[in-house]
Amino acid sequence: MPPTLTIDHAPHGIDHPYEPLFHERRPRDPAGGDMVVLGFLSRPGGAAKDIRVEWTRNDRPQTTIHGRAFSRGTDEGRWEVELGVVEADDVVTYRIAGTDANGNEVATPEFTFVTRRWTTATSAARLPDGRFRLRGFRGEIGPALNVERGAAGLHVVITDDSFAHHSERTLRHSERSGESHSVEREILRSAQDDEGVRAQDDERMGVPDDGGVGIAEALALPRAGGACLPLRLRWQEEAGRLTALELTGELTPEESLVGFGERFDALDQRGRAFESVVYEQYKNQGNRTYLPVPFFVSSEGYGLLVEGTARVEWDLGRSVPDRWRCVVPVSNEGTVAFRSLPGTPDAIVRAMTAVTGRPDPLPLWAYGLWMSSNEWNTQARVEREVAETVRQGIPATALVIEAWSDETTFYIWNGAEYTPKPGAGRFTLADFTFPADGPWPDPAGMTARLREQGIHLVLWQIPALKDAGAPHLQHGADTTHALESGYVLRNDDGTPYRNPFFWFNNAHIPDFTNSEATQWWMEKRRYLLDELGVDGFKTDGGEHLAGRDLRASDGRSGGELINAYPNLYIRAYHEYAKAHRGGEALTFSRAGYTGAGAYPAHWAGDENSTWEAYRRSLVAGLSASLSGVIFWGWDLAGFSDALPSVELYLRCAAAAAFCPIMQYHSEYNPRGPSRDRSPWNIAAHTGDERAIDLFRHFARVRMNLLPYIAQEATFAAENGTPLMRALLLDHPDDSVAWTIQDQFRFGRSLLVAPVVEEGATHRTLYLPEGVWIDFWGGERYTGNQWIMVEAPWDRIPVFAVAGSEIPVRLGETGRLGDDTGNGVSLTDGLTYWLAADPGTEHRGDQR
């Protein structure tokens, strides 16, 4: 009788950063001193009579270990085995075997791992070419270190070119002894032998016998004011191959660390530990993010940028309160590189964006109100909502439609009739017929009418060849062509990779490292830009990659590709749209990594309609802006579940009017009630017409500010400095400014203090050094103090730097909130508001 038992063990799982599979090895890549635990599954759960691990350690058989059962259900059994603590350089080979209910023996293939070794660098010998060779405290020879110092800071590149010799040396000793010896055993042999071998290695690698320099001398991060921060460095190797580098720096008692990409939990990440990895977290992000950047700014006058796209582990004083630590895996090229940037926070961010890329300013229409809802899934519904927007006098300039396509091809309008083409082909608008009773009877006419009303169209995209589930001739032809042409990402064994996550599960993923694949993918969308006049794409997704066994056509593996992929995907769309629509085009993206800000714009992803989510979104915007993302927004008042209260909705609208992107968006609830976040839907569900009246007011204020926003956006893009500015950027010597995460500067002249507490009628806020003029009433305040101001629903606390000239466009009354339409002319009604210092101080209520 054939075996009825299967055993499943995946040593690395899918390298999930937060939710490891039960049947993984823990840790996935053991290092010396780790306790190793093996998890595995038996199926069916009740079929296994005995599960055991048979293993060897350094070629020596070890005692068989019988599994401990956690469950023996009918569908799945869960088992665990503790191998024990392993030492550095151990070679462990194991297989999992069992006996089924019929007495048949079943076993997995053999798995092998080499335990990794950490070595602390204590000195560095200078090589003739100017590089350094790292050495450990026992004389271990480490990787090469290239250090470039300049006015812009320190650039360090570590390579593993010494490890071939390291392995050679170990092999020679093993052959001489007839046994399997680790690097550590060889280093610990007699001093005379060790010195002889080291001398041979030094001679081979050109290391002069000068005694070297201390590692702190070779690696000292420059800080503002001329001081330096000494670094501690460890390298990790596996079987003579460099696998990771660890950097450790000191933290002063009051030091703050900000940046790290779009972080939702706190602006200052001191005391936290996390991984820089792109991840789709649907709401309640915590320390997870769609858009990480391995970069930080310290209040001690320096910044650090880890280059490349590898997943970086951070411990920012959580384990050791006076130390920050990061672990960087080695790239596919065998290197680890980082930059230290000294100066003020603003100078550091500018220097960082000069390296990672800066965007062009957005087209002017992008600075107005964006509207969107997943309920707007037909042309009739879109045109009805746009007509209501116009009727209500709300000046919108952009419309995002998500539910426009068949959601299988992502380039064919839902309901369109056509004759399928070969997968290599592309469509023109004339290839489609749009039935009058279909969901989109006239996309071209709709787009033209939107443009006549000053509204620009952005269409939703996902980088996936979806598992259609049902026959779809065109999608089938496209998928077949992509697979046959090598246009999708693959696994190590050559099979096409499929998305393991719940969203677009089992989809193939296009390979944007392949120029032919990219051109093929984008050409499918050409008619949308050239013939319909679409002005951009909402480039959603990009977080569908998992596992180290992924392979792209350019040779990159999963360890680097997961973080690189969103930028590759977004860049493809951004460059293609720009080529076809010029300066009118943009992309609107959720995910990204270092350099994502060069392809604007971005939004903060999915979130609930709660006060807490509102506060977290503002934190995300500030941390993103400190990480090179200049043009950012969020789904004001939330995206899903219960509708926001009128109060929350209007407080969010007021804040969004002073953010780089102002937009509302919502999910679709097919079972009702409507979750549309349009102001009239909020008013209809609450019975409070202020949802419309005050939203209109803030949308008009937004258009009043258009000349100022365009001016400051251009400055920000050209100089690589944030548009939405944490107070610490302009007031780096003010310790209070480093603690503020619910206020910000909007451009160089305005300070914004959103109301973020339910039921508040006043706002306590901090004014940094200087003289500040109330934006609404003209009162004068002196900085370096906390004040309390009135904050009715129709007003958000905003202050201008005294003496600044702010270009605005005003209507008949000459007041903010005047209707100036949704045109994007910067000269119509142009007025310069001088934030004059009247000489009479209004101190407000002291906190």
Please list the active-site residues. 540, 543, 606
CA distance 388 to 381: 11
CA distance 793 to 776: 13
CA 338 to chain centre: 18
Quick one: which of 417, 733, 755 has its CA closest to 615? 755
Triad 401, 402, 405: Cα angle to 5°: 100
CA distance 843 to 722: 29
Residue 747 · residue 659 · CB < 8 Å: no
Residue 729: left (phi > 0), alpha (psi -120 to 50), or beta?
alpha
Residue 691 · residue 678 · CB < 8 Å: no
| DSSP per position, 663-713 | EE-----TTSS----SHHHHHHHH--THHHHHHHHHHHHHHHTHHHHHHHH
- What element of type H or E holds 756? none
**Residue labelled with tokens 């899918």:** 14
CA distance 308 to 326: 14
Q: In one letter, which amino acid is 616?
A: R
CA 464 to chain centre: 19
Sign of CA pseudo-dihedral 115, 121, 122, 123: positive
Residue 173, CA atoms < 13 Å, CB-side half-sphere: 21
CA distance 659 to 316: 29
Residue 811 · residue 782 · CB < 8 Å: no
Quick one: which of 686, 687, 629, 689 has its CA closest to 661? 629
3-state secondary structure of 381: helix
CA distance 107 to 47: 14
CA distance 343 to 221: 12
Quick one: which of 657, 669, 664 has its CA closest to 634? 664
The CA dihedral of 798, 800, 805, 807, to the nearest 10 degrees, is -10
Sign of CA pseudo-dihedral 740, 746, 748, 751: negative
CA 477 to chain centre: 33
The conformation of residue 255, written as its DSSP 8-state character, comes to -
CA distance 676 to 642: 10
CA distance 586 to 448: 18
Residue 368 · residue 706 · CB < 8 Å: yes
| DSSP per position, 483-543 | HHHT-B-EETTSPBP---SSTTTT-B-B-TTSHHHHHHHHHTTHHHHHTS---EEEE----
CA distance 706 to 363: 12
CA distance 298 to 303: 6
